Amino acid sequence: MPEESNIQIPGVPASEPAALDEPTTPREPLPPKPDQQGPEAVSPTGTPTGAPLTARAQSGQYLTTAQGLRLGDTDHSLKAGPRGPVLLQDHHLREKITHFDHERIPERVVHARGAGAHGVFRSYGTAARISRAGFLAKDVETPVFVRFSTVLGSRGSADAVRDTRGFSTKFYTDEGTYDLVGNNIPVFFIQDGIKFPDLIHAGKPHPDREIPQAQSAHDTFWDFVSLHTEAQAHTMWNMSDRGIPRSLRTMEGFGVHTFRFVNAEGKTTLVKFHWKPKQGVHSLVWEEAQIINGMDPDFHRRDLADAIEAGAFPEWELGVQTFPDTEDQMFEGIDLLDPTKFVPEELAPVQPIGIMTLNANPTNYFAETEQVAFHPGHLVPGIDVTNDPLLQVRLFSYLDTQISRLGGPNFGQIPINRPQAPVNDMLRDGMHQQAVHGGAAPYHPNSLDGGCPFLAGQDMSAFIDVPEELAASIKERKNPASFSDHYSQARLFFRSLTPVEQDHVIQAYTFELGKCYEKAIRERQLLALANVDTDLCAAVAKGLGMPAPAATEDVADAEPSPALSQLGKTWPVAGRVVGIMADQDSDLEEVNAARKALDALGIVPLVIAPAGGTLGEEGDGGVPVQRTYLTARSTEFDAVIVAGGAMRASDATAGRDAKAGEPGASLDPRVVLLLSEAFRHAKALGAWGEHSATLETAGIPQDTAGVVAAGTAGELVPQIAELLANHRVWERFPAN
Ligand code: HDD
């Protein structure tokens, strides 16, 4: 070996320094530069795993390529002269554009639009007698990730559409991941999974023009549900206020199917899951929903993220209805394997088994909310499936869909999908494999890798399939006779609602069918409604200007279930939003007193003023403005307080100089719009002192339910809070 590096370069005298100085002895690799370290290792719940941490994304010192090469320019492509064509050799350009070109993955075929949050589930231990699931033992805390969704709309569609909402929960338990993939409606459209593509093809936009987006108010949807009458019960829930939740935080959730709990002795119990929100069950009204979809398409997503960020962590109690695992799996005449049926709570009470708190927003939407993969077949010991034919097909579909959606069979290795229980599988290779598996024998049984891993027994937390005796039967494509009642539960639901809620249902059917062009479809759906309830059918037919048909089926009556109504209860007011309309004429001390009093109740006060900034002097006495007449719309507020004096139109009008309430007074039209909408949507309205005159000028009658006049802010706030506890001033409906 020469003593010193002496590489010869043709044409370069040997005395000149060599261009390359190859190391001849091995040396330690250079320490990684700060900007060259791998991405932060986080657990599925977003908490650092303890692996060496790096700085946040975007905070490394130098920009690099994906290979860690430092870049000196990322703003100009490499060209043949400043005005010349771009060169193919520009490796940085090609990497940057190629990666960008592939940033999107296919959206979910259903439930494409969603919002997620991290949290924790704490079990009460009340289910421990009937399920041996470790995470249901007393006081066990299990990290969770929840994704709420709409069903029909694309990823970029609006939140407040009339639709079913998905409610999926991933429990990262010590015994493996358990997914509860439910909806906010306890019954489903179809009884057999083979119909799912038909249902979704009918509900999605028409294939020719791809309209309408995220809506069921169109011909193909109603064509399907009127021809396929087992969908009537679910559709009835959709047409009720449940189809337009006020917030994701104020929705119930349901596992829909009947599942099977298995205890330590192997004894089984049939169960139906319920999520009960501590925040109450509240909905929008249809006009509000329509306004919101234009004003703030991200309404639900924003509401959830804001609440969590503000520390108002939403909570749901998980409960189960339990049924004996009898041979026929019927309960009070209801087939527990029919997913278009629910069991009224009056017949089988919901028994609480734990509480879930959502306490952290995702760090990255794509990595977590988009890439999370749920599957009803992600089970743990102690929870098993039943033979519900809808559930059986779901067990195939969810695994299958992730392969095209997440690009291969290793989606379980994506951080949000990684179990928190040790994984010791023999699945190997495949697209996007992240692991470097050692060993020589990824098969069972083996003798080369010491026979590992071994099989566990029930006492070692193994999942043991419940041995189930099956009745001798013939192979056929048929439903059981007990699946043939398509109307009684739609009737039960409708008749359990209060008149106000029933009126909303009538309006919803009339709206949706009014958007259908084909008369035959409207007629057929009216026929289905006649079988559900003749009054409902007559009211919808009247709205459509069509004759009401007579019922064709003899449908069984059931006892109404008052638990189905959202009215008649009071709920916590924490987390609700109250708008305070103030202006330069306001008594700022009183405005601040109102803000403080609301805040003390956990209510979010937002001040609405003619312009942004601060009313009065910045500092102690001033009032920071959160919304202006331009940015505010009534739909954001659960109640509105008027604390301003004039609120005049900013342009010259006859009453420009007159105070509100005085002859000739003229309010800014946006103020009038906000107040009149809030009034029409049955929200509490209030004012103190002379400001009641502003309400009067806006056309809000003073001596009406839910319109409060008080002497001071201190007197007003408790009255507004009391009204808010009922969600709306229901006496003010019907609105039109
Ligand atoms: Fe489903 C997604 C809920 C029936 C096929 N479904 C999906 C999601 C929810 C539900 C909440 C969104 C999961 C997420 O946030 O990622 N689905 C239900 C409920 C059903 C139901 C409560 C009936 C009780 N689904 C159902 C059937 C099939 C599917 C019968 C197919 C035969 N569902 C899917 C799917 C999706 C899905 C295509 C789309 C994305 C995904 O699974 O991961 O596989």
**pLDDT tens-digit readout, 205-233:** 999 999 999 999 999 999 999 999 999 99
Is residue 182 lining ligand 1, measured as CB closer than 6 Å? yes
Pairing of strands 639-642, 684-688: parallel
Residue 228 carries which DSSP code? S
For residue 552, pLDDT beyond 50 = yes
Quick one: which of 420, 727, 375, 369 has its CA closest to 577? 727
Is residue 389 lining ligand 1, measured as CB closer than 6 Å? no
Q: Tell me, what's the pLDDT at 56? A: 64
Q: 3-class SS at 426?
A: coil
Q: 224 CA distance to ligand 1 centroid (A)?
A: 19
Rounded to a whole number of angstroms, the distance between the first and last alpha carbons of the chain is 98
Residue 87 carries which DSSP code? P
Angle between helices 219-227 and 196-203 (to 10 degrees): 150
Q: Using the structure block, give the residue that is written with the tokens 């011909």.
A: 219
- The mean pLDDT of 434-458, rounded to a whole number, is 92
Could you say which of 3.40.190.10, 1.10.10.10, 3.40.50.300, 1.20.1370.20 is the CATH number of the domain covering 486-564? 1.20.1370.20
Active-site residue 183, yes or no?
Answer: yes
Is residue 397 lining ligand 1, measured as CB closer than 6 Å? yes
Angle at 368 between CA 364 and CA 374, to 5 degrees: 165
Q: 514 CA distance to ligand 1 centroid (A)?
A: 29
Q: Which of 76, 91, 99, 111 is catalytic?
A: 111
Best residue among 234, 254, 398 to mutate for probing ligand 1's pocket (most ligand atoms within 8 Å of CB) is 398
Same CATH fold assignment for domains 114-416 and 577-732: no
- Tokens for 409, please give them: 């069979």
Q: What is the DSSP string of 17-79?
A: PPS-----S--PPPPPPGGGSPPPPB-TTSSB-SSPP-PPTT-SSS-B-TT--B-S-SSS--B
Listed as own residue / partner, the contacts of 327-331 with beta carbons closer than 8 Å and 24 or more positions apart are 329/258, 329/270, 329/386, 330/482, 331/270
Atom of ligand 1 nearest to the CA of 401: 44
Q: What's the CA gap between 217 and 554, in Å, rounded?
A: 28
Task: List, in order, residues 6 or more apart from 327 with CB less than 8 Å away.
Answer: none
Q: What's the CA gap between 197 and 110, in Å, rounded?
A: 10
Q: What's the CA gap between 298 and 318, in Å, rounded?
A: 27
- Tokens for 533, please give them: 């309830």
CATH top class, domain 577-732 = alpha beta
For residue 662, pLDDT beyond 60 = no
Domain boundaries, the chain: 114-416, 486-564, 577-732
- Tokens for 637, please give them: 């507020």
Q: Are 192 and 176 in contact (CB under 8 A)?
A: no
Give the CA distances from residue 483 to residues 150, 335, 340, 480, 555, in Å, rounded to whole numbers and listed in that order: 27, 7, 9, 6, 14
Quick one: which of 182, 359, 157 has its CA closest to 258? 182
Q: What's the CA gap between 183 and 252, in Å, rounded?
A: 8
Q: Tell me, what's the pLDDT at 659? A: 53
For residue 41, pLDDT beyond 50 = no
Q: Tell me, what's the pLDDT at 619? A: 81
> pTM score, two decimals?
0.92
Q: 262 CA distance to ligand 1 centroid (A)?
A: 25
- Tokens for 333, please give them: 């005449």
Pairing of strands 383-384, 259-262: antiparallel
Summarised one tens digit per residue, pLDDT across range 367-422 is 999 999 999 999 999 999 999 999 999 999 999 999 999 999 999 999 999 999 99
The verdict on domain 114-416 having CATH code 2.120.10.30 is no
Give the CA distances from residue 21 to residues 1, 5, 365, 701, in Å, rounded to whole numbers and listed in that order: 14, 7, 47, 90
- The mean pLDDT of 286-305, rounded to a whole number, is 97
Q: What's the CA gap between 403 and 700, in Å, rounded?
A: 57
- Identify the residue whose C-alpha is closest to ligand 1 atom 34: 398
- The mean pLDDT of 691-703, rounded to a whole number, is 90
